[in-house]
Structure 1
């Protein structure tokens, strides 16, 4: 892997005294697995927390017990059932307007309630819609349900898509979902990361938004693990500063 393009960009950030808030989100957790143990081990070694997007309907007791013992794992809400409710001619989604809005918000509320019951104060009130897709009408309902953050993908257009709700997205996913389902070509990922950082530095994107790396521990092969570790290490050695969110739901005491 040729990291020189990214290193050149990171050197500019260092020279200009810029800092990069860096965060890590990993999706689709429901149980304790060997892959989750590997994720947690990597998180500890990097000293970078993982915001673990948990599917509320299917989360089991083993996952709850394991997360309780892992301070670097921060549970967040990953939809309700991770069930595709879109028609066959549309991209997969669970929280777009393919059913009554009241039913959609009820599922988002159920997700928060169940994980709050399971994880208590450890739960971060972040809503992660499956497949990173959510209707704007649903986004506007999230603060009233108790959410403080919504997280999808690509650089955010605005900091607050609804009053009282912050958008904190992911920006790099190393998996080739539409092809091999293995690691995207490393040179392409390095170039993509470099371009994303340059856009921030040159004010084409929000430099204050935490830069998010998205992983899916259940489907990683060794190449994906290796690239993820190397990327995060280089960012943290450069201008990267570990970012984690632990806001309490609306109405909860501080």
Structure 2
């Protein structure tokens, strides 16, 4: 065991002990992006979810989703499906310095909503009750004019990344991405993973209602990222100071409940 891994385990356990000692729980949820078909990487991801009994919310690209993926997930006890845009295509202008987005400011709102409606119908047909109508915008970006009207496309929730806050009453964020996108898509490293989790867990000491969102991308993850997932869940999925509610309960709570919308 490396010193960084030992410190990661110690720091995470110490945080969760703090919550347990006060009879509180830090809440977590897990989202994985870009699924379209079965793969060995997806199998590995699902094995980790099943080993630790934690739900993984797979953001599936509707246009490219294969029936084989629905068949692969049919008997999975810990996997649900979210909607990852329509086709994961960029409509912004890179030559003007605009950041990539499928659902950004350059889209015609009516056209984009029609695509999202078609995508929602396709995922509902393929995955049935496993599909939760939550939109995950590609690149985690969405224009306010679209986010305000998602219900017209049959989508009741929205999930982005920590810096993207949109005008939507049921938005659930992700906060900890284990992939270093700027340096070869490798694992961010144990020290950086500890830092990111420490930041989120410290914040939850004063406001523990917002779940900490774990973000993975199984198709690009290296060995370090998969190991991180397993190590994190080995502690946090079995600790009395942690809770892993299903995504459905976060965006569609019972009548009178309080979910989503931590803006």
- Look up the match of 1:174: 178
What's 2:187 paired with?
Answer: 183
Instruction: Name 1:192's counterpart in structure 2.
Output: 196
Answer yes or no: is 1:130 the counterpart of 2:131: no
Q: How high is the TM-score relative to the length of structure 2?
A: 0.86
Q: CA deviation at 1:180?
A: 2.4
Check 1:132–1:191 CA distance in 2 against 1; reply closer, same or farther (3 A cut): same
| 25-34 vs 233-242, which moves further | 233-242
CA distance in 2, matches of 1:57, 1:157: 26
> Is the Cα–Cα contact under 8 Å of residues 200 and 212 in structure 2 kept in the other structure?
no
Find the residue that maps to 2:92 and give its secondary structure. coil
Q: Distance in 1 between matches of 2:72 and 2:128?
A: 14
Q: How far does the alpha carbon of each residue in 1:123-162 deviate from its partner, in whole angstroms, 9 at most, with x for none?
A: 101100011111111111112222121000117869xx33
Tell me the equivalent position of 1:80. Answer: 86
SS of corresponding position for 1:103: helix
- Mapped to 1, the partners of 2:144 and 2:234 lie a distance apart of 35
Q: CA deviation at 1:80?
A: 0.5
Partner of 2:23: 17
User: Secondary structure of the residue that 2:87 maps to in structure 1?
Assistant: coil
Residues 55-134 of structure 1 aligned to structure 2 (within 5 Å): 55-88=61-94, 89-134=97-142
Structure 1: runs of 5 or more not aligned: none
Q: Deviations over 1:163-214 (max 9, x none)?
A: xx411111100000012210002111111101111012134xxx21222101
Q: Is the 8 A contact 1:55 1:77 kept in 2?
A: yes
Q: Secondary structure at the match of 2:105?
A: coil
What is the rounded CA distance, in whole Å, between the counterparts of 2:237 and 2:73 in structure 1?
24
Equivalent position of 1:230 in the other structure: 231
Deviates more, 1:233-242 or 1:42-51: 233-242
Tell me the number of residue pairs that the alignment of Structure 1 and Structure 2 aligns. Answer: 242
**How far 1:245 sits from its partner (Å)?**
2.7
- Note if 1:28 corresponds to 2:34: yes
Paired residue secondary structure (1:225): helix
Kept in 2, the 8 Å contact 1:156–1:167? The answer is no
- CA–CA separation in structure 1 for the residues paired with 2:23 and 2:72: 39
Q: Distance in 1 between matches of 2:174 and 2:124?
A: 23
The separation in 2 between residues aligned to 1:65 and 1:59, in whole angstroms, is 11
Stretches (4+) displaced over 3 A: 155-158
Is the CA contact (8 Å cut-off) linking 2:16 and 2:242 kept in structure 1?
A: no
Partner of 2:259: none
Q: 2:161 aligns to what SS in structure 1? A: coil
Output the CA distance in 2 between the equivalents of 1:222 and 1:20.
Answer: 27
